[in-house]
Chain A
Amino acid sequence: MKDAFLGIDVGSISTKGVILDEDNRLLCSEYIWTEGDPIGAVKKLIGLLEAQFDKKEYQIVGTGTTGSARKLVGAITGATIVKNEITAHAVGTTSFYPDVRTILEIGGQDSKVILVENGVAVDYAMNTLCAAGTGAFLSSQAKRLGIEIEDIGDYALRSKHPTPIAARCTVFAESDLVHKIQMGHSKEDILAGVCQAVVSNYLNNVGKGKRIVSPVVFQGGVSKNKGVVAAFENALGCKVTVDDNGHLMGAIGIAVLARKSSGRRKFDFAIENMDFRAGEASCGRCSNNCEIICVYQNGKIIDSWGNRCERGSVSV
């Protein structure tokens, strides 16, 4: 029986899961949509991973969760490590690309840049108040133009004269885009313009003041979009590497971290059939009114968080 490690990355848009063996080899992987239901998505994900997993040869001894729903999912899966997605991405990428100097990452709701020196992250930035130029923007524009999000890249690469689109803010970009559509620009040109807008927004916001040094690795869901990759190469003047598993890098990173950490607990696939529910309660013991999140397994409370002080702690 060999050891294996499960990594789960639950983002706002998609849920990613991988199982790695001790030598960082990918045993199985899955990528599904979160669809606003992280608990359901994780149960589905675990079912899909189980189907690919060789239970006779391997056993999962460490589980890691990351992404914006990491805490909730960590409570459900009994994770041995719960870490933020920035660290997970940095660790995942540097395990496969030890020479990397800059990691660009654009996900569904957030974007980040991580600068690496000698195999460790030395600086990072993450978008703060605004989701302009992320995957959510691309997918809503694809819907407006009536094409599938997967096809944006092909359309964009066919364009000869990309339409300039204001990149400062999603709202402005959208009204600019509607205007250009009504002016009769082709879908190809508009989508190439959208890809450029995403890149210039990224470089002007998240990448501001950061020295982007080659080799550059680009990942996150948006890295699957060839149009954005081409726009990045154009703007940076260097090659931008996109890994085949770039969209899974957060999950891979957290699986690597689960292997490196000391925590060990056998993972049970049975949770896909259990009933999980997350409830919110207002503490009400002072005017802070902390929102306390409680997680229930088959009606029994297994974890809670969100309280600022002891008055709001829930005994488990």
Chain B
Amino acid sequence: MDFIKTVALPRYAEYNCTFRYILEKGLDVKYLLQPPLTQHTLEIGAKYSPDFVCTPFKTTLGSMIEALEAGADTLIMIFGLCKLGYYGELQEQILRDLGYKFDCINFSDFDTGRKKDYIRGLKRINPKMSFAKFAVAGMEAIKMGDYLDEITGEYYKNYGFAQDRKAYQHAYKAFLRDMYAAGSKSDIEEGYRRAKDAMSRIPLDKPLKPLRVGVIGEFYTAMDAFSNLETEQKLADMGVEVHRWMTATNRVIHYPGETNLNVKIQEYCRYEMGPTSTANIWSAKTYAEKGFDGIVHIKSANCTPEIDIMPVLQNIGNDYKIPILYLTFDAQTSDVGLMTRLEAFYDMIAMRKKVIV
């Protein structure tokens, strides 16, 4: 089958499987999946980025270059509520200055809040699109995203306690492969069931009260394992139950709404502070109320909304007596410093728990 376009998006955690599904099944264009993020991606991204821009800008720019090198002719950039809204325009300009020829569909151009404009954006991808087809594929892709977040959440909660960690990781990796290859609704459902089945068959040695850590943070860096140097995996390796509410589906699809969340945290902040700020403050407060042992706050360097919520988090930490580890990520090559901090954090919450219990 001939496609009118070969479309790519920057790598974003493991969500590219859902992008692929919706673009190929709903919009009839070819989706190009570039290689996973590596040090090389970040290096080429950082080379052509402004020095003090947030790190995801560099990572996604590098990832776009890798997609163009692999043969993509159209790039899609998503919109966002912070600096992310300006990423697309600047990245397009940088790529054009580098001499790449491509079509750029920047959803920030269509982000007006009116349905009509978003449809115009979709029509830019494929003018002959069918709405019925898109709606069906869209719902299935959302389902895939839900499954992805569910299985990923389960993986990080249980990995540290699995009797056979290798098999547990293997089951998770197999699930990701299934999702990237899924071509129909039944593929998605089957992959999900297979993963659920494989993971639940591996026995867990979980104590009655395991160490629980809640991860909160910025939209890209908190979710993307490469960008946060696998912070969640490192915590899980130490035998910690890792929870993270902040996922793409929770923030975008199932978001309870700014007003609803704001009511729940009104003793800590009265204004909307940024795209993920309200949700992060609310998550931190929820983790504290549930008696978690610690909170890890992840952000990229120069992320203004997340820097702004740090004083609020400190208040929560003081009120509920819960330790909070603040981590900032930039284009680093070594994770030694991160290991020192995470190990110390683990030792601290483990020793603390022994004294309290």
Contact = CB atoms under 8 A, between A and B. Distances in A.
Please indicate whether A and B come from the same complex rather than being unrelated chains: yes
Could you say which interface size class chain B belongs to?
20 to 34
A126 B341 CA distance: 8
B343 interface: yes
B323 A129 contact: no
Contact of A84 (B35, B310, B326, B344): B344
B136 interface: no
Interface in A215-244: none
Contacts of A129: 301, 328, 330
Interface string A104-125: 0000000000000011111111
Interface in A273-289: 286-289
Interface in A256-299: 286-289, 291
Given A129-B301, A287-B38, A83 B347 contact: yes
B98 interface: no
Given A84-B347, A211-B318, A288 B38 contact: yes
Nearest to B345: A124
B301 A86 contact: no
Contacts of A188: none
A36 B29 CA distance: 56
B311 A209 contact: yes
A224 B66 CA distance: 53
A287 B336 contact: no
B351 interface: yes
A315 interface: no
Interface in B313-357: 314, 317-318, 321, 323-324, 326, 328, 330, 333-334, 336-337, 339-341, 343-345, 347-348, 351-352, 354-355
A87 interface: yes
A68 interface: yes
Contacts of B340: 68, 84-86, 126
A128 interface: yes
A90 interface: yes
Interface of B: 35, 38-41, 301, 310-311, 314, 317-318, 321, 323-324, 326, 328, 330, 333-334, 336-337, 339-341, 343-345, 347-348, 351-352, 354-355
Interface of A: 68, 83-87, 90, 118-126, 128-129, 209, 211, 286-289, 291
Given A86-B348, A87-B343, 13 more contacts: A84-B339, A84-B341, A84-B344, A84-B347, A120-B348, A122-B348, A123-B317, A123-B324, A124-B344, A209-B311, A287-B35, A287-B38, A287-B41
